[in-house]
Structure 1
Amino acid sequence: MKPAIHPEYHEVEARCACGATWKAHSTKKELHLEICSNCHPFFTGRQKLVDTEGRVQRFTRKFGATTVAARKAAADKSKKGASA
């Protein structure tokens, strides 16, 4: 490896917005995270929407809270109406 071209590698304390902290290694001197494994919905099983600028609300207004089953039923209904 070439000398003097690699960044410094620090042991840092990573901090999440939920308050969790842990030791990690990074080229940055500080790590501040918005979401971690302690507060992420995939790991906790709880629903927590991180909504920026109302995008989720805008999506539900545009497309509604339709499910796959409701879409299939609507497609079947339209097929029956077209063939009759």
Structure 2
Amino acid sequence: MKANIHPEYHEINIIMTDGTAYTTRSCYGKAGDTLRLDIDPKSHPAWTGQHRVMDTGGQVAKFNKRFASIGARTK
């Protein structure tokens, strides 16, 4: 392995959405930094099986308005 080309690998603290915390090793930030997760395996639909539509800023409504005419045929 070449010297001085790899990032520093150190311990950081991870805080999950429900408040649980653990320590792991990472290249993120500096030693002792804390990473707060917005989405984790306990809250993400891919792992929980619960699907939620999060309409941030009306994006779903904007999409529906823009593409409402696609697939509609007029004679």
Question: Normalising TM by the smaller chain, what interval?
Answer: 0.5 to 0.7
Displacement after TM superposition at 1:18 (Å): 4.4
Displacement after TM superposition at 1:44 (Å): 1.0
Q: After the TM superposition, which segments of 4 or more aligned residues of structure 1 sit over 6 Å from their partners?
A: none
| Aligned equivalent of 1:39 | 43
Between Structure 1 and Structure 2, how many residues are aligned? 68
Where relative contact order (Cα < 8 A, 6+ residues apart) is larger, the structure is: 2
Unaligned runs of 5+ in 2: none
Q: Is the 8 A contact 1:20 1:38 kept in 2?
A: no
| Aligned equivalent of 2:61 | 57
Bigger Cα Rg:
1
Report the aligned-residue RMSD: 2.8
